[in-house]
Each structure stands twice: as structure tokens, then as C-alpha cells.
Structure 1
Amino acid sequence: MSRALVVRGGWDGHRPVEATDLFLPFLEANGFDVRVEESTAVYADADEMAATDLILQSVTMSTIERDELQGLIAAVRAGTGFAGWHGGIADSFRNSSDYLQLVGGQFATHPGKEPSLVVGDASDNYLPYTVEITELGRAHEITAGIDDFALETEQYWVLHDDLIDVLATTTHPVRLWHPWHRPITSPVVWTRLWGEGRVFVATPGHSPEVLRDENVRTIVERGLLWASRTA
């Protein structure tokens, strides 16, 4: 039986417990023995990490100890899969450049509504946008058969490198109240090969409601299976 490790915590605004609970039955139905941890301390347990086939992380911001991060990176390099969504993987451990290198992309911002529409809650950053499947994505097992689709939630602006394989993108348009002067395209779904391991990231997932979207949920479920140890 394959082993999955769910690590959750950090900023509670992303509801890491409720969000990851959505996928526990899926993992179990697909043959995973699932262990859930509320702390990254487990990453420093070399024996546990070596026996883990897939890590699902949902830890927004927060910090990580040096031995924990070294354990995570070593495990992925040795073949453990690493997967997640939104800030739980793409906005974790902002003070660690080594973590950023592992993931390949980092949340920078989520542009907001026109100032006169701002009401002072999370919805200020909910914008309608389109997730566009790339040519690579149309052939990839994670996103094959999924057409471009619309969401109204946080539209992540991501800083990234060229070692990621982008399966879907979104474009931030020019608006009068924002400072940029031409449209900016950001990755929405990507994969990354790191040593013997696989990394999967999807930026939608601000709330369980977004994760319940049929397209988002399908992409996350396929991404979890894709990332799991292959050898």
C-alpha cells in the first residue's frame, strides 16, 4: 500500500483542515494509507519521509526549521511526491529561498477589485478570471480533456522560474487602478521534476468552495496521483 502524508497548518484563513479533509477519502480510495500531521516537524523524521510516497501540504506562510526543510527536500529528491494548492504550497515559508527553489513558483499578490467596490473582507480580492489550459496541458494526464474554465476567486500572480512545466495559465489584465502597463500571464497549474521526485502545484484553492469546483477538484485529484512516487 502507498503512503500519503498530509501536513497542514499555517494561516487559518485558507481553512487547511477542512480543505485537506476534502481529499482524504479520495486518497484512501486510491490505495493510500494516510497519515495527517498538524506540524512540519515530521519532515525531520528521515525514516518516515523515506517511507512516504506522497506529501500533500497545506501550510500557508508560517516558518520551517532548517532540519525540517532539509528533510523535505531530501525526501523529494529521493522520490517522494510533493503536492498542494494555493497558499498551502505556493505561499509557504516565505523566508526560505531553498523552499522556493523546490517548488519553482511563489505567490506575489492577488490583484483586487476597483477601490470603490472594496468592502474590507476577503471578497475584495475575488475577481472573475479564466484558467487557460496550455498546449502542454491539453496532452498532460493531469489536465487532458479539461477545457478553459472560469473562476471567481483570488487570481494568483506568481513569480516563477523556467524549470516548471506549465499546464494552465491565467492573465492579469491592465486596469486603471493597478500599476502595471501590460497584461501579465501567470502559471495556474504546474509540475516540476526534482531529483527523483515530482512536484505538483495548483493555485486555485482559497477556500473549500473553490476546491469543490469540478474542474479544480479534478485537477487536484489527478495531480496528487501524478506526483506520487513512481519508483
Structure 2
Amino acid sequence: MTRALVVRGGWDGHKPVESTDLFLPFLEERGYDVRVEETTAVYADADAMAQTDLILQSVTMSTIEPEELKGLIAAVRAGTGLAGWHGGIADSFRNSSDYLQLVGGQFATHPSKEPGELVGDASDNYLPYTVEITELGRTHPITAGIDDFALETEQYWVLHDDLNDVLATTTHPVRPWHPWHRPITSPAVWTRQWGEGRIFVATPGHSPDVLQDENVRTIIERGLVWATRTA
């Protein structure tokens, strides 16, 4: 039996319950035995983690206890897959550099609209942008057959390292109201091997409507399967 552990919580602005609920039927239809936890405490349960094939994490910001992080890292190194999207995986546990090294990318900012267009809510950061599939992405099982596509939502600027296998990118243009002076390309979808474990990250996914975009949902569903060590 293939076992999936869904861990959700943290900042509620990313709708961790509603967002992960979108993918529970997919996992169950694929034959996963799904366990849902509302805190990261399960990461410190060595027996539970040893029986887990896939972790779907949606925990934005928040903190993680040392024993929990130790358990998560040990599980991934031993072969458990780790997957997620947006802030639920790329903006988790800012207190931990070890977590940052594990996932390979950390949210830095999401650029905003022109100052005169700001209204003081989340839409201030909703910009039209393109997710561009890389050469590697065009043949990878997660993104093969998907063309470049457009979104209008938060565009993540991600700090990252070269261990990532980048399947898609997005480029932040130069705008007069931002302080950078040349376009910046960030990974939008990547995978990472850590020990025996596979890691999958997609930066689109700010809200359930973004997750229901056909391209985003397809990439995430494929990413969940790919990250599972038995797949």
C-alpha cells in the first residue's frame, strides 16, 4: 500500500485546508492511503514517517521544532517524497536554514502592481506573468507536453541553489517602482534529489482558483506521483 501524509497549517491566507482538499480525491483514486495532520508534530514520529511514501506539505511560514525537522529530513533522506506548492513548501519555517537547504528554494518576495493601483489587499500582488517550461521540463514526466502558460496571481521571486532540476521558470521584469535594475529569472517548478528522496516544488498556488488552473493542477498531480518513491 502506498501511503501519503498530508501536513497542513500555518498562515491561513493560503487556505491550506481548502487547497489540499482539492488533491485528496486524486491521491485516493490513485490508490494512496491518505492520512491528514493539522500540525507538523507527526514529523517527529519515526514509525509513522518510516511508513510514509509521500508527504504533501502546505504549511506557510510557522515554525518547526528541532525534532520535527530532524524527522522530516531523515524521512526524505531514506526515500520519502516531499511535495507542495507556493508558500506551503517554499515559504515554510523561516527559522530553519536546514529546511531551506532541504527544499532548495525560499520565497523572497512577490512584486506588486504600480503604487497608484494598490488597494491594500492581496490583489496588490496579482500580476500577469508567464510560466516558461525549460528544455529539461519539456521531457520531464511532470511537465512534458505542457506549453508555456500565463497566470495572473502572485509571481514568486525565489532564492535557490544549483542542486535543483528546474522544470519551469518565470521572469520578473524591470519596473520603475521596483529597486532591481535587470530582469530576474526564478524557478517556478523544480525537483530535487535528497538522499534517496524526491522533492517537488511548484510556486504557483496562492489560492484554490490558481490550483484549479488546468496546467497548474496537472503539474501538481504529476509532481505528487513523481515524488512518491514507489512511482
Structure 2: gaps of 5 or more residues:
none
TM-score (norm 1): 0.99
User: In 1, Cα distance between the equivalents of 2:181 and 2:121?
Assistant: 27
Show the counterpart of 2:19. 19
Name the amino acid aligned to 2:4: A
Q: Is the 8 A contact 1:79 1:230 kept in 2?
A: no
State the identity %.
87
Show the counterpart of 1:40. 40
Show the counterpart of 1:186. 186
Show the counterpart of 2:203. 203
Instruction: Give how far 1:38 is off.
Output: 0.1
Q: Map 1:160-175; keep pairs closer than 5 Å.
A: 160-175=160-175
Deviations 1:75-117 (A, max 9, x none): 0000000000000000000010000000000000000000000
Show the counterpart of 2:224. 224
User: In 1, Cα distance between the equivalents of 2:93 and 2:181?
Assistant: 30
Structure 1: gaps of 5 or more residues:
none
Show the counterpart of 1:116. 116
User: In 2, Cα distance between the equivalents of 1:176 and 1:40?
Assistant: 41
User: In 1, Cα distance between the equivalents of 2:28 and 2:230?
Assistant: 18
Secondary structure in structure 1 of the residue aligned to 2:204: coil
TM-score (norm 2): 0.99
Instruction: Give how far 1:229 is off.
Output: 1.4
Name the amino acid aligned to 2:5: L
Q: Is the 8 A contact 1:172 1:184 kept in 2?
A: yes
Show the counterpart of 2:53. 53
User: In 1, Cα distance between the equivalents of 2:177 and 2:136?
Assistant: 33
Instruction: Give how far 1:230 is off.
Output: 3.4
Name the amino acid aligned to 1:131: V
- Give the superposed CA RMSD: 0.6
Structure 1: 4+ residue segments shifted above 6 A: none
Show the counterpart of 1:30. 30
User: In 2, Cα distance between the equivalents of 1:24 and 1:160?
Assistant: 29
User: In 1, Cα distance between the equivalents of 2:122 and 2:209?
Assistant: 14
Deviations 1:105-139 (A, max 9, x none): 00000000000000000000000000000000000
Show the counterpart of 2:107. 107
User: In 2, Cα distance between the equivalents of 1:142 and 1:47?
Assistant: 30
Show the counterpart of 1:150. 150
Name the amino acid aligned to 1:147: D
